[in-house]
A and B are shown apart, each in its own frame.
Chain A
Amino acid sequence: MNDQTQQLEAITQKEYKAGFYTDIESDSLPPGLNEDVVRQISKIKGEPEFMLEWRLKAYRHWLTMDTPEWAHVHYPEIDYQAVSYYSAPKKKTDGPKSLDEVDPELLRTYEKLGVPLDERARLAGVAVDAVFDSVSVSNTFKDKLAEQGILFMPISEAIHEHPELIKKYLGSVVPQKDNYYAALNSAVFTDGSFVYIPKGVRCPMELSTYFRINAANTGQFERTLIIADDDSYVSYLEGCTAPMRDENQLHAAVVELVAMDRAEIKYSTVQNWYPGDENGKGGIYNFVTKRAACRGVSSKVSWTQVETGSAITWKYPSVVLQGDNSIGEFYSVAVTNNMQQADTGTKMIHLGKNTSSTIISKGISAGRSSNAYRGLVRIGPNAENARNYTECDSLLMGDKCAAHTFPYIEVKNPTAQVEHEASTSKISEDQLFYCKQRGLDVEDAVSMIVNGFCKQVIRELPMEFAVEAQNLLGLSLEGSVG
């Protein structure tokens, strides 16, 4: 092994920083999945009948499905009967009415995570819905947002308070039968966030949810639904962590976004689930279905993701461009290290006229990891003048990792213009030497070059998230981004 490879390995082998476990009593269902468990979940949540029916329909269909095998990832078969489908911090009262009533252990957890849950949050203009294991524990600024008619609440509450919106939109973008994990999620999801932005409202602050899996042997199945009505705008941030555990844990979330006429949704994710140790032991299986419908004319959805965690990532945030002149964007940095495996990308489905999409994907593989981009660009027969531009670059750090590109391009309209470019490279010795000759140590040089590589994506993130993302990339890059 040459010096450079060794140095790169030293740099890429950093410990997981969010890997603490919080000692909070929790109520859990015993492991296992059957119709009774689905009924139990619905009952604990006190759900109306229509939700139970909806869940059971999903569950029954799930039983007939097979796990998807086309992704470039390998893992032992998951025993779905060994997973607990419900875990909630034990309630001391009927739920916290203010921060004082929240379990201090929990608050310390968020502090460690850097979640601005307290007063600092308001100053930072961030409203947080934090999902701990399976339930929402706190939701700030609800009242302030309500003044403008914005609904931002746990989805379990929305089911009670706004059943008409839930009936109309839940499953309208990702149907229960969409895929194996979406069906599972539809049957057993316990919480998640719900956002509704009324017509003409520009959400005055970034909305944010932090997800954390805490309890052992628990699957997390959150469900997020965001609806942006005509002429509205919202920027939504999502962060995720989990403690270090030797067993693998399952995370199968569903996120649905609906953008009506001229509405815009910006959805940013920094995903830092526990990736497992350097030998591939433990870590989260992150099997997530995220999809947006640009239903209205001139609507826009932009996905930005920085994926550094999880043992396995299986995730394709997609946009269905139904409305004429609608726009879909996907900006992604996926970092894999040690034994991590990622198969991630996007789908841009062009149905309306003059629709356009942009895909910028940056994959960084280190250690013995495997990192695959998988994308679909489909131009339907009626999508006149559709445009897509895709750029997908891989950076390899070390000679034992792998990088793959699987782009699917399907065009059925002769007015379409689709362009796809992909490249693979490593950090060149010339670049490293140049930086070192200017006095930078190798760690800073690598960090700087990697961040330069990811710049197109990082700059899409809201400011405070961009900083977190850079830290996550293990890099100190103030100033080189922007």
Chain B
Amino acid sequence: MKVLTDIHTDFAAVAASRDVMVEENSRWHTLRQQAKAQFERNGLPGRKEEDWKYTSLWQLGQEQFKHQVSQPGHADIYDLQLVEDAYRLVIVDGRVDFTASSIDNLPAGLTVSPLSQAIERASEFLNQQINIEKPGFNALNTMLMNEGIFIEVAANSQIDKPIELIVVNTGRTEHYAMHLRNVIVMNESSQATFIETYAGNDNANGLTEVITEINLAESAELFHYKLQREALDHYHIATIAAKQAANSKWHNSNISLGGKLARNDVHSQLLGEQSHVTLNGLYLVTGEQHVDNHTRIDHAVPNTTSDEMYKGVLDQQSHAVFNGKVIVHKDAQKTDANQSNRNLLLSRGCEIDTKPEMEIYADDVKCGHGSAVGQINEDQLFFLRARGLDEISARSLLTFAFAVDVIERISNQELKKSITAVIEKRLPKGGNHE
């Protein structure tokens, strides 16, 4: 394995201090020990590793991350919440802010709690969807995670309000690193909406490293939205992995706006017939931002469907990576899989690397993918200017029009409105299109 040898933060020492959190010989403890051994062997992946070909972790490796807060931070979450009425958990600088959270009046059938308070139940589901041997952060996260959200929805329960997780890095502690684990358990025929927001003050320059594990039992359905809007000097590394039983549905939207380096690994395993996954993604990057989305869908049994649409807008010197993998396993007949990745390049200096892959081991399938790289259509631009719009507004409008179908796929109207507002603020004010 090709590894990054130059890592300045002593993660292993941090792990030792976190061992006290869990009981010795518990499942969680065992997983930590395994992960530690694995991380010591493999560290972080280098660019020779196919999954990290276009994303260098060298700079991240150079950082001296801190794992203790020097001063407790405070966040005004009112500006960050995307829906008004929700069951909400707020994590600020790695700790749950109970005053800002609202998890006291949960309806029957719903459990929402900080991970640190649900260790016993959560540990049954830990590391079920991820493999610590995979080159990346799975081992690191397993050995360091100490907070996150635990959600369990009982069989046949439909949750009336969205469940919202807000994670803030206030920047009060320089280079502050959070390692979070979210565990979502959707029992038979349950239904819920989960919104996660990652944000921070403009001066935050730390690391948010998070894994979300989702278990969808038969006929369960989860509407899942992730908005990442951290500071431009922040690192964000996330894995979202779901296992889906028969007839289950997972609708995931993944919006990346912030961060110096943001990496998402989104993985669905369709293990039961008639299960379905939708993966929507939108990334808007500018300055010297680097965003990397890796998605993987495993069609493991017959009669499963997937629909994937990722779109990106790249401005200034930004760099985006998309790697979408669809695997149709042997005998997974009647698979219907569709994937698309489209990119809009706004200025000189930006770079997109896209790799839509398919591996197919069954013949009676309908699989297609498309990817495209292009720019704002000059005819449309001229048309808008001829109708009186100034060039900057016209470009901004056309950029929004490009992104809009990802937003259109958000089914919660209130959420759609607030996400639209967030995106509009981030629209490039016209590129330097020489």
The chain A residues found within 8 Å of chain B, CB to CB, are 70, 379, 381, 394, 396-399, 401-426
Nearest chain B CB to A388's CB is how many angstroms away? Answer: 9
> Which of B326-350 touch A at CB < 8 Å?
331, 333, 343, 345-350
A409-B353 in contact given A399-B362, A414-B346, A425-B366 (Cβ < 8 Å): yes
Of chain A, the residue at the smallest CB distance from B353 is A410
On whether the beta carbons of B360 and A414 are closer than 8 Å, the reply is: no
B368 within 8 A of A: yes
Q: Which of A406, A418, A422 contacts B373 (CB 8 A)?
A: A418
Of chain A, the residue at the smallest CB distance from B322 is A409
On whether the beta carbons of B50 and A70 are closer than 8 Å, the reply is: yes
A424-B365 in contact given A409-B371, A414-B347, A416-B373 (Cβ < 8 Å): yes
Q: Scoring B residues 363 to 382 as 1 if CB is less than 8 Å from chain A, else 0, what string do you get? A: 11111111111110000000
Nearest chain A CB to B280's CB is how many angstroms away? Answer: 20
5 further A-B contacts with Cβ under 8 Å, apart from A70-B50, A417-B372, are A404-B357, A411-B351, A417-B375, A422-B369, A424-B365
Q: Which of A379, A402, A413, A425 contacts B361 (CB 8 A)?
A: A402
The chain B residues found within 8 Å of chain A, CB to CB, are 50, 314, 331, 333, 343, 345-375, 431, 433
Q: How far is the CA of A93 from the CA of B174 in the complex (A)?
A: 84
Q: Is the interface of A mostly helix, strand, loop or mixed?
A: strand
On whether the beta carbons of B363 and A407 are closer than 8 Å, the reply is: no
Q: Which of A394, A402, A409, A424 contacts B354 (CB 8 A)?
A: A409
Nearest chain B CB to A267's CB is how many angstroms away? Answer: 27
On whether the beta carbons of A406 and B355 are closer than 8 Å, the reply is: yes
Q: How far is the CA of A416 from the CA of B374 in the complex (A)?
A: 6
Q: How far is the CA of A476 from the CA of B19 in the complex (A)?
A: 71
On whether the beta carbons of B366 and A403 are closer than 8 Å, the reply is: no
On whether the beta carbons of A422 and B356 are closer than 8 Å, the reply is: yes
On whether the beta carbons of A422 and B370 are closer than 8 Å, the reply is: yes
Q: How far is the CA of A411 from the CA of B375 in the complex (A)?
A: 12
Q: Which of A412, A421, A423 contacts B351 (CB 8 A)?
A: A412
A420-B370 in contact given A412-B351, A414-B345, A415-B375 (Cβ < 8 Å): yes
Nearest chain A CB to B99's CB is how many angstroms away? Answer: 47
Most chain B CB neighbours (cut-off 10 Å) among A394, A408, A426: A408
Q: Across the interface, which residues of B come within 8 angstroms of A418, CB to CB?
A: 371-374
Q: How far is the CA of A418 from the CA of B345 in the complex (A)?
A: 11
Q: Which of B348, B353, B360, B369 contacts A403 (CB 8 A)?
A: B360
On whether the beta carbons of B368 and A409 are closer than 8 Å, the reply is: no
Q: Which of B346, B356, B359 contacts A402 (CB 8 A)?
A: B359
On whether the beta carbons of A396 and B363 are closer than 8 Å, the reply is: yes
Q: Across the interface, which residues of B come within 8 angstroms of A411, CB to CB?
A: 343, 345, 351-353, 373
Q: How far is the CA of A421 from the CA of B362 in the complex (A)?
A: 20
Q: Across the interface, which residues of B come within 8 angstroms of A379, CB to CB?
A: 373
Q: Across the interface, which residues of A come within 8 angstroms of B366, CB to CB?
A: 424-425
Nearest chain B CB to A72's CB is how many angstroms away? Answer: 8
A423-B362 in contact given A399-B333, A411-B351, A414-B375 (Cβ < 8 Å): no
A422-B375 in contact given A403-B360, A411-B345, A411-B352 (Cβ < 8 Å): no
Q: How far is the CA of A418 from the CA of B50 in the complex (A)?
A: 22
On whether the beta carbons of A405 and B357 are closer than 8 Å, the reply is: yes
On whether the beta carbons of A397 and B363 are closer than 8 Å, the reply is: yes
On whether the beta carbons of B358 and A399 are closer than 8 Å, the reply is: no
On whether the beta carbons of B360 and A402 are closer than 8 Å, the reply is: yes
Q: Across the interface, which residues of B come within 8 angstroms of A404, CB to CB?
A: 357-360
On whether the beta carbons of A407 and B375 are closer than 8 Å, the reply is: no
On whether the beta carbons of B374 and A420 are closer than 8 Å, the reply is: no
Q: Across the interface, which residues of A come within 8 angstroms of B333, CB to CB?
A: 399
18 pairs across A/B with beta carbons < 8 Å? Answer: A70-B50, A379-B373, A396-B363, A401-B363, A404-B357, A406-B357, A408-B355, A411-B343, A412-B351, A413-B348, A414-B348, A417-B374, A417-B375, A419-B374, A421-B370, A424-B368, A426-B363, A426-B365
Of chain A, the residue at the smallest CB distance from B342 is A419
Q: Across the interface, which residues of A come within 8 angstroms of B314, CB to CB?
A: 414
Q: How far is the CA of A163 from the CA of B270 in the complex (A)?
A: 61
Q: Across the interface, which residues of A come within 8 angstroms of B50, CB to CB?
A: 70
Q: How far is the CA of A274 from the CA of B265 in the complex (A)?
A: 42
Q: Across the interface, which residues of A come within 8 angstroms of B348, CB to CB?
A: 381, 413-414
Nearest chain B CB to A414's CB is how many angstroms away? Answer: 4
On whether the beta carbons of A407 and B359 are closer than 8 Å, the reply is: no
Most chain A CB neighbours (cut-off 10 Å) among B353, B358, B431: B358
Q: Across the interface, which residues of B come within 8 angstroms of A422, CB to CB?
A: 356, 358, 368-370
Nearest chain B CB to A367's CB is how many angstroms away? Answer: 12
Nearest chain B CB to A154's CB is how many angstroms away? Answer: 40
Q: How far is the CA of A423 from the CA of B354 in the complex (A)?
A: 17
Of chain B, the residue at the smallest CB distance from A429 is B364
A398-B363 in contact given A411-B345, A414-B348, A422-B368 (Cβ < 8 Å): yes
On whether the beta carbons of A399 and B372 are closer than 8 Å, the reply is: no
Nearest chain B CB to A68's CB is how many angstroms away? Answer: 13
Q: How far is the CA of A407 from the CA of B371 in the complex (A)?
A: 10
Of chain A, the residue at the smallest CB distance from B366 is A425
Of chain A, the residue at the smallest CB distance from B368 is A423
On whether the beta carbons of B356 and A424 are closer than 8 Å, the reply is: no
The 10 closest A-B pairs by CB, nearest first: A396-B363, A414-B345, A418-B373, A424-B367, A423-B368, A405-B358, A402-B361, A420-B371, A409-B354, A426-B363
Q: Which of B364, B369, B375 contacts A405 (CB 8 A)?
A: B369
Q: Across the interface, which residues of A come within 8 angstroms of B358, CB to CB?
A: 403-405, 422, 424
Q: How far is the CA of A399 from the CA of B355 in the complex (A)?
A: 26
Q: How far is the CA of A412 from the CA of B314 in the complex (A)?
A: 11
Nearest chain A CB to B70's CB is how many angstroms away? Answer: 41
A399-B363 in contact given A404-B358, A409-B354, A417-B374 (Cβ < 8 Å): yes
Of chain A, the residue at the smallest CB distance from B367 is A424
Q: Which of A402, A414, A419, A421 contacts B368 (CB 8 A)?
A: A421
Q: Across the interface, which residues of B come within 8 angstroms of A381, CB to CB?
A: 348-349
Q: Across the interface, which residues of B come within 8 angstroms of A399, CB to CB?
A: 331, 333, 362-364
Nearest chain B CB to A17's CB is how many angstroms away? Answer: 26
Nearest chain A CB to B412's CB is how many angstroms away? Answer: 32
Q: How far is the CA of A394 from the CA of B367 in the complex (A)?
A: 10
Nearest chain A CB to B7's CB is how many angstroms away? Answer: 26
Nearest chain A CB to B260's CB is how many angstroms away? Answer: 20
Q: Across the interface, which residues of B come within 8 angstroms of A401, CB to CB?
A: 363
Of chain B, the residue at the smallest CB distance from A408 is B355
Of chain A, the residue at the smallest CB distance from B357 is A406
Q: Across the interface, which residues of B come within 8 angstroms of A423, CB to CB?
A: 367-368
Of chain B, the residue at the smallest CB distance from A425 is B366
On whether the beta carbons of A407 and B350 are closer than 8 Å, the reply is: no
Q: Across the interface, which residues of B come within 8 angstroms of A417, CB to CB?
A: 372-375
Of chain B, the residue at the smallest CB distance from A409 is B354
On whether the beta carbons of A394 and B360 are closer than 8 Å, the reply is: yes
